[in-house]
Amino acid sequence: MAHRTVELLAIGAGPANLALAVALEELAPELAEQTLVLEREKNVVWQRGMLLPDALSQVSFLKDLVTMRNPRSEFSFINFLHTRDRLDAFVNLGSFVPYRSEISEYLQWVADSLQNVRVEYGHEATAIADVHSADGELTGWTVTLADGDTIGCRYLVIGAGRDAHVPAVFDGLPAERVIHSTEYTQRIGCVPTHGSPRVTVVGGAQSAAELFGAALRDLPGCRPTMIMRSIGLNGYESSKFTNELFYSSFVDEFYGASPEARHQLLAEMHRTNYGGLAPATLESLYRQFYQDRRSGQDRLGMITMTDVTGAEQDGDEIVLTLTDRKSGTSRELRTDLVLLGTGFSREMPRMVRMLGDSLGLERVDVTRNYRLELGRPATGACYVQGVNESTHGIADSLLSVLAARSAEITKDILEHRAGSPAGRYRSLLAAV
């Protein structure tokens, strides 16, 4: 087991921390040279579990890691296309939204293009401990990795994404019979493809619809049924007026709003990201159902206004208890495989909650600049990215605000370093 120290450690090499790495390279090269990004996987893949062949991003390519902050940056999506000799072809598509796999390629290209910030793969952070000086002041953090090695840092940035939401009703089922969307591409290859497996897809938004279509492709002959609590599938709310709430400039307005106003905003914005489908997905899915009914096969099923209130294994079958929200009556549905398009937990990630508990915090709060509220003076700091919807708005977990947010965090770190007793250039890592 080995120990090393860095000034800034970022956990997770997803879009959030890669955007921060770019901001550090461009705005704070001295700090960038002392920065390490850890990724538990062996490469950078965006939305690894749902990297489906024809899936499109729902966000404009201009909302990449840097363009909205620095349109002249060498790390832009446009420059990525240029280096791959695909700029003409992409422009000719006439679309603002790239393929999801293309965004993923772009992210790996950015990670490979960094000059000062280091990115290391195959390192999973399993624990975080706060470190204090002799007089009790918090000076930094020690992060323990899965292999037992430790890394000390003065500044910690957690950007590893949100935890998958797996409804408790499915807890007792065998792991091989339940696949959340975050694990679909990694695990679907282990599912037997012979016969006509019954597949139940739980959820009524984009990820559930994509799982439904993927099952038809990956499990030939399967009989999929989609179960949802809503009255049916709906398109995204995509009004240009509503979309202005995804501007990075709106974060200040949301952050300063009352709790009641924040609640209203999040509720009304739900269908812009969580409660709807992209128009092309909605159209394609309806046509599949139309053709299925037209042919008389009745292979595809959809059950609306229904809760899954029970789940158990019975021999080789999974038995789900379905409760109709209109009548309150229940019935059984027998299936072979459950696919969960149930999204992500609204809570802070487990790692952040554990850190809050170890610090004795009653609740995990962050400042406007995403710094964890420690409730005490400190020469070290922790920043939390991508999980602050309740305080920073619905765009916080999306690509829309990455460029601006990374600059805000960089500025806050620089100001914190300059204002600490240690001064800008003297690190307290000896205490870590």
User: Per DSSP, what are the bridge partners of residue 128?
Assistant: 143
Residue among 149, 148, 286, 155 nearest 213 (CA):
286
Both tokens of 75, joined, read 């790390």
- Do the two domains 3-163+345-431 and 168-236+275-340 of this chain adopt the same fold? yes
Q: What are phi and psi of 304, to 5 degrees?
A: -105, 170
Res 432: pLDDT: 30
The 3-state DSSP class for residue 106 equals helix
The 3-state DSSP class for residue 33 equals coil
Res 420: pLDDT: 76
Q: Do residues 131 and 141 touch, judged by C-beta distance below 8 A?
A: yes
Domain at 168-236+275-340: CATH code: 3.50.50.60
Res 428: pLDDT: 36
Domain spans of the chain, in order of start: 3-163+345-431, 168-236+275-340
In this prediction the pTM is 0.93
Res 422: pLDDT: 53
Q: What are phi and psi of 92, to 5 degrees?
A: -70, -20
Q: Where are the alpha helices (DSSP H) in 114-244?
A: 184-187, 206-218, 240-243
Per-residue pLDDT tens digits for 47-90: 999 999 889 998 999 999 999 999 999 999 999 999 999 999 99
Residue 10's CB is within 10 A of a number of other CB atoms, namely 30
CATH level 3 topology of 3-163+345-431: FAD/NAD(P)-binding domain (3.50.50)
Q: Do residues 403 and 248 touch, judged by C-beta distance below 8 A?
A: yes
Residues of the chain with pLDDT under 70: 421-432
